Chains A and B, each alone.
Chain A
Amino acid sequence: MDKNLIMKEAQKYASKGMVDKAIEEWNRYLSISLNDGVVYNTIGDLYLKKNARAEALDSFKRAAEIFVKEGFNLKAMAVYKKMIGLDSSMADIFAAIGDLEAKRGLVASANESFIKAAEIYTRQGSAASALDIYQRMADITPANNAVKIKLAEALIQVGRKDEGIARYLEAAAGFQHEGLSNESAAIYGKLSELAPDKPEVVVGAARGLIAQGRSGEAAAKLKPLVGGDFVEPLILLAYGDACLATGMFDDAAKVLTNVLEMEPRNLSARMALANVYIKAGHSDKAAPELNTLAGEYSLAEDWPKMEEALLLLVSMQTGNLEAHQKLHDLFVRRGKAQEAHQELKILGGLYYDSGDLRKALNISERILREEPSDKVAASRAEDIRNKLPAGAAEASEEDMTDTFEIVTDITEDIFDMPASGLQGPSAVENIEAIPFELETFSMEGSGRPPETAISATESNEFVLELSGIDEPFTLDMGDVPTEAVSLETFEIEPQQVSAEEAPSTLVMSTYMGLEDEVFSPEDAPTSGAIPAAILAENLEEADFYARQGLTDEARGLYQQILKLAPGNAEALKGLASLEGITSMAFNVEPLLEGISEAVELPEIASEAEVIELTGLTLTDSDLLAPQLEGTPSEAMTTAEKKPSRFGDENLDSMFNDFRESINQQIQGEDADTHYNLGIAYMEMGLFNEAASEFQISMSAAPFYVSSCIMLANCYQQMGKPDEAVEELKKGVRVPDLKEEDYLSFRYEMGDVYQKHGKKQEALRVFEALEVANAQFRDVAERVASLRNASSSRLEKDRRVSYL
């Protein structure tokens, strides 16, 4: 048998409307060429012509299966869509389309198809099939909480309750992580019905309450559960957090200590405990916890968490040399050069203050190599060189590498520090352990009394020590330069700053890396406080970075602000919001509270100035409260402030939201694939579907022009010449359209008119084209033919006579 002959016969029969004969011929063809998807598709079309839908669907299915097998996924999708057009109740076909779309990376489209499949299965009562579909959706969008909810429902429906609960828990945690606490709470509400005694559910629900600012309720719900002999640490931890948020510090500390006795390496518990201590004003207890945490996170190589712990630590203990060294090394490790440089500056100051002039000189020189314009480092280096014996200074320069290694060695030691269960030396102890060499300097006749040898990067502990104050932590705001510090700076570089603005301007600008900035007199502080304008400006800049998604930049700036103004509420809130760490919500308040309770602001700083400094009233808790929206437990993270539509509404609305968002997502999908899919649909004669695809692909600039043409073709095929012309007009309006493209659009326009009998319009278009370029395609012939047709129509009318 000759395939070509059979094909011709089949086509001949089809053209004459002899459908049965044509099908017969095509089936003969298939007996020779078994797996020809195109022929199966043609047979399907023929069956359709004789309205034999069942047979048509069978043929189309076979065609699609062959296309899939041969890797022609777009063709297969087109055939499946044709089938859906005939029968929209075929869930398996929707699922097959979804699979193919997923394979092409069209995740939103796949989800749309899967949802249709799942809904049909659900209507048909086929829960297992619906579950399978939701599982497929979860596979392609593993982070989608709405899908997890549906999957959970489906699992429970088929009796797999535990798995369903696990999925609900994942969804609740996911929403919580996204800051959608009300959505999370709604799921926990559902879980409370399904598994009221499950610790994860109890804890999740409680955490939801805490996140909503209902910590008291959370604590009340958890309290009865924490009294037994053996209580899940999970529950204890949640209770601890609830207590912390409600100000029940003793209870919180007790329960968290219990957790740590059971699980010494429970870092969440340890962090919570550190927060409790901070909030309760027991910074001496908080510091070792944070130190341990830093070590544990180091071991776990959880660098962001380690950074968090260290930042908290140095914000409390600005003079903690060891913590700063760790932080410096951590920044280096994380590639945060700017932050590492700032830490280096702090370390330089601390070494200088500690009397280790050789290291201080070494670091200053390193700073100067990184930043030659650093005036503080230059002054300090010069000062040290003057103080050190000539040989020692030279030795320092010669032994530069060794000196750097000292710093490195120290930090390496820190990273090697055993963490678990360690309560290493507190930050205060660390400071106390640093060899104090000021006396030596004096003895060596530097000519500078120890009490004035205080640099701009003054350690508060050092100031306190000099002042004979026993309680180092009461000056946590000590980074705000004191008059003494300012004077010292002024003494080092008197020519650089005016007497009025010298102290804090220089300090601030140095820390901010803004040495070259010239500050206006308004920016200059009127007291020893950090210039409010500068602070505000930097906060604003950090907020801007955060809003723009430049998290690293924002984080760096917040951290710098915190170094200068530890406990600054805005910076802490910004940082917490940035990190998206719920626990940070607890960190903001305690620090502020600790500050408000402990800091004795200089008398010369008016309350107004204090407000200006931090954006908050630090001396009056009543004034502090409104800034943080009430009680500490009500101090919400940014995410928690998001409006929510959920109260007791059921979970379906979350899925519906997701469903509604799909169409928008589809618009953003890969234009290339949608364009090719459109072509495949056109080949199958599915012009409606093709038009939809081209409408999507035209949203991508590279596909705009070609999509316009294809869309016009679709409309033309659909017998909608006006719409076709509209699309072509869109194409013509594209700026900088190439002449060839412009002529093509015009030509297509004329063609549309001509094919749809609008010969006068077609003639007008082609005549214009002929003027532009008579050689373009067959324009000249078209014009001639249309002119003839125009006259022959008149002729034809003349030829007809009624008698």
Chain B
Amino acid sequence: MSYLEFFNFNEQPFDITVDERFYFNSSEHEEALLRLKYAIDNMKGLAVLIGDIGTGKTTLARKMLDYLNETDYESALLVIVHSSITAEWLLRKIAMQLGVREPSDNRMELISQLYRRLVEIQEEGRKAVVLVDEAQMLHSREIMEEFRGILNLEMGGKKLITFLFFGLPDLDECLALDEPLKQRIAMKFRLKSLQDDVISAYITHRLHVAGRETPLFTAKALKAISKYSSGTPRLINIICDNALLEGFLLKNEMIDHNIVKNVATDLGLVAIASSS
């Protein structure tokens, strides 16, 4: 009997890869989405979402991209995976993603192309939006200045583009590299950890999506998960996933706090929780 059969799952409930079906609309995330949508629809220029590791920033970025349909928006998601990208490369990529054909190698020409494209989008009655995930990796003043430059593109007193930055708290430092840019932040939201009762609902939600109808974690286990994860969704997922595997190996039909504690110890989370 497999892990999935043992617990009556149709699929892994705590896989850490982003899957929109598992999206849990906590009040925290709902509020974040509402604020970001407000920033976009009102062409506020720059909005920033900051959250600790595993709090669901990437999930929200994907959710936001889903929201931006092609009819009303010209959108792009830039996922920064390398910290050494240059301002030119970034500008070029933004231009390409927004539909600039045959982008020029000349920086000034490229900016001109981008401007024309943004005007075109606006004239189509659409809005240009660029989402940047893992924005804390853009630790360069030139890049920040480049963003400020693009944000300065306006027509008729209205901004032609909106940037949404998703990043760790370090993103504040990046933004501080260019004070004028920092001052242009129209909306900033900080994702908090999930509260105890929401953690329970979050776990139940994921179990349900995976096909499990009945509770699997004891009340004490849930408390332990809350403690060791500090309410961070990704950690919750990791703890739960490991706890289920442990439970399966032990043939325990319910996951109790002892299993959670053992798993958290192995993951090095017990010490962290103690110190905090």
Residues of A within 8 A of B (CB): 15-20, 48-53, 85-86, 685-688, 718-720, 757, 792, 795-796, 799-803
Q: Chain A's nearest CB lies how many Å from the CB of B187? A: 21
Are A720 and B217 also in contact (CB < 8 A) when A17-B26, A19-B200, A50-B200 are?
Answer: no
A803 and B89 form a contact (CB under 8 A): yes
- Which partner residue on chain A sits nearest B31 by CB separation? A16
Q: Chain A's nearest CB lies how many Å from the CB of B93? A: 6
**In the complex the two chains form, what is the Cα distance from A16 to B201 in whole Å?**
9
Q: Chain B's nearest CB lies how many Å from the CB of A69? A: 27
Chain A contacts of B214 at CB under 8 A?
85-86
B244 interface contact, C-beta 8 A = no
Q: Chain B's nearest CB lies how many Å from the CB of A10? A: 14
* With A17-B197, A799-B97, A802-B79 already in contact, 7 other A-B pairs whose C-beta atoms are closer than 8 Å: A17-B202, A17-B205, A48-B215, A51-B204, A718-B211, A796-B66, A803-B80
Chain A contacts of B197 at CB under 8 A?
17-20, 50
- Looking at B69-77, B108-116, B260-268, the stretch in contact with chain A turns out to be B69-77
Q: Chain B's nearest CB lies how many Å from the CB of A11? A: 14
B81 interface contact, C-beta 8 A = yes
Chain A contacts of B69 at CB under 8 A?
792
Residue from A17, A686, A801 in contact with B93 in the complex, judged by beta carbons closer than 8 Å = A801
- Which partner residue on chain A sits nearest B27 by CB separation? A16
B30 and A16 form a contact (CB under 8 A): yes
Chain A contacts of B79 at CB under 8 A?
800-803
Residue from B26, B70, B78, B211 in contact with A795 in the complex, judged by beta carbons closer than 8 Å = B70
Chain B contacts of A51 at CB under 8 A?
200, 204, 215, 217-219, 222
**In the complex the two chains form, what is the Cα distance from A546 to B77 in whole Å?**
83
* Proximity string of chain B (74-92) to chain A, C-beta cutoff 8 Å, 1 when within and 0 when not: 0111111110010001100
Q: 7 closest A-B pairs (Cβ-Cβ)?
A: A17-B201, A16-B27, A719-B211, A719-B10, A800-B77, A17-B198, A51-B219
**In the complex the two chains form, what is the Cα distance from A135 to B264 in whole Å?**
53
Chain A contacts of B147 at CB under 8 A?
none
Q: How large is the interface on B (under 10, 10 to 19, 20 to 34, 35 or more residues)?
A: 35 or more
Are A50 and B201 also in contact (CB < 8 A) when A687-B213, A719-B209, A801-B76 are?
Answer: yes
Chain A contacts of B25 at CB under 8 A?
15-17
A49 and B204 form a contact (CB under 8 A): yes
Residue from B78, B210, B217 in contact with A801 in the complex, judged by beta carbons closer than 8 Å = B78
Are A688 and B213 also in contact (CB < 8 A) when A51-B222, A803-B78 are?
Answer: yes
A803 and B93 form a contact (CB under 8 A): yes
Residue from A16, A686, A687 in contact with B26 in the complex, judged by beta carbons closer than 8 Å = A16
**In the complex the two chains form, what is the Cα distance from A19 to B204 in whole Å?**
12
**In the complex the two chains form, what is the Cα distance from A686 to B197 in whole Å?**
24
Chain A contacts of B204 at CB under 8 A?
48-49, 51
Residue from A49, A52, A799 in contact with B77 in the complex, judged by beta carbons closer than 8 Å = A799
B23 interface contact, C-beta 8 A = no
Chain B contacts of A688 at CB under 8 A?
213
Chain A contacts of B21 at CB under 8 A?
757
**In the complex the two chains form, what is the Cα distance from A720 to B209 in whole Å?**
11
23 CB < 8 A contacts A-B: A17-B202, A19-B200, A51-B204, A51-B217, A51-B218, A51-B222, A53-B215, A53-B219, A85-B213, A86-B214, A718-B213, A719-B211, A720-B211, A757-B21, A799-B76, A799-B77, A800-B65, A800-B77, A801-B76, A801-B78, A801-B93, A802-B81, A803-B81
- Which partner residue on chain A sits nearest B98 by CB separation? A799
> Most B CB atoms within 10 A — which of A50, A85, A86, A686?
A50
B90 and A803 form a contact (CB under 8 A): yes
**In the complex the two chains form, what is the Cα distance from A613 to B96 in whole Å?**
107
A796 and B65 form a contact (CB under 8 A): yes
Q: Chain B's nearest CB lies how many Å from the CB of A21? A: 9
**In the complex the two chains form, what is the Cα distance from A800 to B209 in whole Å?**
26
**In the complex the two chains form, what is the Cα distance from A120 to B69 in whole Å?**
58
Q: Chain B's nearest CB lies how many Å from the CB of A398? A: 89
Chain B contacts of A803 at CB under 8 A?
78-82, 85, 89-90, 93
